[in-house]
């Protein structure tokens, strides 16, 4: 049986009876992001929406953000960017990120949310696979010239007509020079239409794209706001990359804007940047991955900044250890909320009224009464409550399939539309989930996901490499790092670990995907049926003396 696809071949959607139920329950309210911003701007035009501290600093009110989105939308339309077109967006935490995103939302063009760390290989794939018409970049970010990257991609991807640069454009067009038109877009998207494509950390050779609709994403924001008590007085510090699903929506910058609150952009998440912003702007909530939470805890003891305004710190993206969880409150003077989410949909939060033990030892419970949770064995059989197994989920803001990936969707979703998260969990009597492990072939490097197969494919392209297996290794700081086990071709010349790393880097991959460690072996341990046993390879990494670091 194939999954319950709707007529839309690009983006499998919810079957009609589910859509009706989600509407009847009030989860889907028939609103678009364009309308949402318009309504907030009408309700409180002069309240500050976005604070960007870079340079001389900028503060945009809701009216200003709304007008900017309108004017840029008209300008982009005049460039020929229309409804349904894909636009790869790779901006750091700058105010323009929101101007562009809302302009695209108004048109109904779909932002594809690349991360600042992505390089040629990822960007080429996003642009080519989505047949993107435009790519929007900063000039130079973290020492890397995105204009040069854009020139290379533009030469290779025929659909890519526009490169728009925030800052100095070089050979491309400056975003600020896109003519602004004072007209409102008329034929905008419908609430059930796609709003954007988010990225999956994935476990396959190439990253998959996640189609999210206005209706479903807005629901997750409203519900997140309620759970996290985000209102018009909230000030959200966007410390992780703005484009990441966690930062965008749990409850994130879009949640804060939905509530009429304020978004403060941190160019970097380090305490020397973030703490003074918290003090100066009266930040009330923010979100971090576990390694950064630890950095903040340790810095708080040393730094003079007043973090008294901070009510809540959301920690997610990777498993937070109980020991670190225990230190958050005392060190930062705020409430910890654990978040276990995924760009595919399902988000779990610990609640403010949960017992302390639940907050410290679980990753929260689902947002919605209509989030369906199944914990199953290897044959999709339901396990009794409390047992550890594979997490499957379905619900009003969880996708029914990846974008243009019918083959992959057949295995990534059950026949009746449950998403196979690849996470191994246990559900407590109160419905909270504890993440116990992972079945998917992925490394979670401090919240940055690496699909083992993607890196294996790159290393296999090396002429001296016969075979390779990439596995995770435990790490005190990041939780996990990556290790590539390499079998060389017979007679291949000597190869060092550093050569393999450099080879991967030169193929134009995001830096976090370069293997942290490389081990050369004669052959791989095998499972009973003759597959490479990654379990045994991981176990070998526990033996540091016989396997020195490369
Ligand atoms: P993605 O599908 O790329 O958006 O990544 C989502 C994945 O991140 C989840 O399926 C989990 O594997 C992992 N993840 C997110 N939050 C947590 C958390 N709090 N604890 C453990 N793993 C997490
Ligand atoms: O890791 C994630 O993708 C994630 C974590 C927390 C996420 O997408 C989210 C919350 O929404």
Domains of the chain: 56-189 (3.40.50.980), 442-539 (3.30.300.30)
DSSP letter assigned to residue 413 = B
Nearest ligand 2 atom to alpha carbon 340: 6
DSSP reduced 3-state for 240: coil
The candidate with the shortest Cα–Cα distance to 77, out of 41, 38, 39, 106, is 106
Sign, CA dihedral 359-360-362-364, equals: positive
Q: How far is the CA of 288 from the centre of ligand 1 (A)?
A: 13
Q: Is 442 a pocket residue for ligand 2 (Cβ < 6 Å)?
A: no
- The DSSP bridge pattern shows strands 285-288 and 312-316 to be parallel
Q: How far is the CA of 449 from the centre of ligand 1 (A)?
A: 8
Q: Which residue has a Cα nearest atom 8 of ligand 2?
A: 342
Cβ atoms of residues 114 and 123 within 8 Å: yes
Cβ atoms of residues 72 and 98 within 8 Å: no
DSSP reduced 3-state for 254: helix
Q: Is 249 a pocket residue for ligand 2 (Cβ < 6 Å)?
A: yes
Contacts of 406 (CB under 8 A, 6+ apart): 5, 9
User: In angstroms, rounded to a whole number, what is the distance separating the alpha carbons of residues 180 and 177?
Assistant: 8
pLDDT of residue 1: 35
User: In angstroms, rounded to a whole number, what is the distance separating the alpha carbons of residues 275 and 303?
Assistant: 8
Q: How far is the CA of 73 from the centre of ligand 2 (A)?
A: 29
Q: Which residue has a Cα nearest atom 15 of ligand 1?
A: 317
Q: How far is the CA of 342 from the centre of ligand 1 (A)?
A: 5
Residue 445, strand partner residues = 448
Q: How far is CA 412 from the centre of its chain?
A: 18
Q: Which residue has a Cα nearest atom 11 of ligand 2?
A: 246
Q: Which residue has a Cα nearest atom 1 of ligand 2?
A: 317
Ligand nearest the Cα of residue 444 is 1
Ligand nearest the Cα of residue 341 is 2
Segments of 147-305 assigned E as strands: 162-166, 173-174, 194-199, 209-213, 235-238, 262-265, 285-288
Q: How far is the CA of 200 from the centre of ligand 2 (A)?
A: 10
- Pocket residue to mutate for ligand 2, from 314, 343, 445, most atoms within 8 A of Cβ: 343
Q: Is 398 a pocket residue for ligand 2 (Cβ < 6 Å)?
A: no
Q: How far is the CA of 366 from the centre of ligand 1 (A)?
A: 13
Q: Which residue has a Cα nearest atom 12 of ligand 1?
A: 423
The candidate with the shortest Cα–Cα distance to 127, out of 143, 149, 97, 108, is 149
CA atoms within 13 A on the CB side of 94: 20
Return per-residue pLDDT of the chain as tens, 550 residues.
Answer: 334 334 467 999 999 999 999 999 999 999 999 999 999 999 999 999 999 999 999 999 999 999 999 999 999 999 999 999 999 999 999 999 999 999 999 999 999 999 999 999 999 999 999 999 999 999 999 999 999 999 999 999 999 999 999 999 999 999 999 999 777 778 899 999 999 999 999 888 889 999 999 999 999 999 999 999 999 999 999 999 999 999 999 999 999 999 999 999 999 999 999 999 999 999 999 999 999 999 999 999 999 999 999 999 999 999 999 999 999 999 999 999 999 999 999 999 999 999 999 999 999 999 999 999 999 999 999 999 999 999 999 999 999 999 999 999 999 999 999 999 999 999 999 999 999 999 999 999 999 999 999 999 999 999 999 999 999 999 999 999 999 999 999 998 889 999 999 999 999 999 999 999 999 999 999 998 999 999 999 998 876 544 444 4
Cβ atoms of residues 472 and 483 within 8 Å: yes
Nearest ligand 1 atom to alpha carbon 440: 12
Nearest ligand 2 atom to alpha carbon 248: 11
């Amino acid at each position: 049986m194939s999954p319950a696809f709707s007529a839309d071949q690009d983006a499998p959607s919810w079957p009609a009876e589910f859509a009706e139920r989600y509407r009847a329950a009030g989860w889907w309210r028939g609103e678009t992001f364009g309308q949402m911003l318009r309504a907030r701007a009408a309700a409180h035009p002069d309240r500050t929406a976005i604070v960007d501290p870079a340079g001389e600093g900028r503060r945009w009110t809701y009216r200003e953000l709304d007008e900017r989105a309108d004017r840029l939308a008209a300008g982009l339309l005049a460039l020929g960017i229309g409804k349904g077109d894909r636009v790869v967006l790779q901006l750091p935490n700058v105010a323009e990120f929101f101007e562009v995103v809302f302009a695209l939302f108004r048109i109904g063009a779909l932002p594809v949310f690349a991360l600042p760390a992505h390089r040629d290989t990822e960007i080429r794939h996003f642009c080519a696979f989505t047949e993107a018409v435009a790519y929007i970049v900063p000039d130079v970010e973290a020492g890397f010239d995105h204009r040069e990257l854009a020139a290379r991609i533009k030469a290779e991807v025929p659909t890519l007509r526009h490169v728009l640069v925030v800052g100095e454009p070089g050979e491309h067009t400056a975003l600020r020079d896109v003519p602004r038109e004072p007209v409102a877009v008329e034929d905008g998207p419908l609430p059930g239409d796609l709003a954007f494509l988010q990225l999956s950390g994935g476990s396959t050779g190439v990253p998959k794209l996640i189609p999210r609709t206005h209706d479903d994403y807005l629901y997750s924001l409203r519900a997140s706001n309620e759970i996290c008590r985000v209102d018009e007085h909230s000030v959200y510090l966007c410390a992780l990359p703005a484009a990441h699903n966690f930062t965008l929506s749990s409850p994130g910058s879009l949640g804060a804007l939905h509530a009429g609150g304020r978004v403060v952009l941190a160019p970097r998440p380090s305490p020397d940047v973030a703490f003074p912003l918290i003090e100066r702007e009266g930040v009330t909530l923010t979100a971090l991955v576990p390694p950064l939470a630890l950095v903040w805890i340790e810095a708080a003891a040393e730094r003079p900044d007043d973090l008294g305004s901070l009510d809540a710190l959301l920690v997610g993206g990777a498993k937070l250890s109980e020991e670190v969880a225990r230190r958050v409150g005392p060190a930062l003077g705020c409430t910890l909320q654990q978040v276990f989410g995924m760009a595919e949909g399902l988000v779990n939060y610990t609640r403010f009224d949960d017992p302390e033990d639940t907050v410290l030892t679980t990753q929260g419970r689902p947002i919605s009464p209509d989030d369906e949770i199944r914990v199953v064995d290897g044959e999709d059989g339901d396990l009794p409550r409390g047992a550890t197994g594979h997490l499957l989920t379905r619900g009003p803001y969880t996708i029914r399939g990846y974008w243009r990936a019918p083959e992959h969707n057949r295995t990534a979703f059950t026949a009746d539309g449950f998403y196979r998260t690849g996470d191994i969990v246990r559900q407590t009597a109160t419905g909270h989930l504890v993440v116990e492990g992972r079945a998917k072939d992925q490394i979670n490097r401090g919240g940055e996901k690496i699909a083992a197969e993607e890196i294996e494919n790159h290393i296999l392209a090396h002429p001296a490499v016969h075979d390779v297996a990439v596995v995770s290794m435990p790490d005190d700081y990041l939780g996990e790092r990556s290790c590539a086990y390499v079998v060389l071709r017979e007679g291949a010349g000597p190869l060092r670990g550093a050569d393999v790393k450099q080879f991967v880097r030169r193929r134009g991959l995001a830096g976090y995907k370069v293997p942290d460690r490389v081990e050369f072996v004669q052959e791989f341990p095998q499972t009973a049926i003759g597959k490479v046993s990654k379990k045994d390879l991981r176990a070998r990494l526990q033996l540091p003396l016989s396997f020195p670091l490369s």
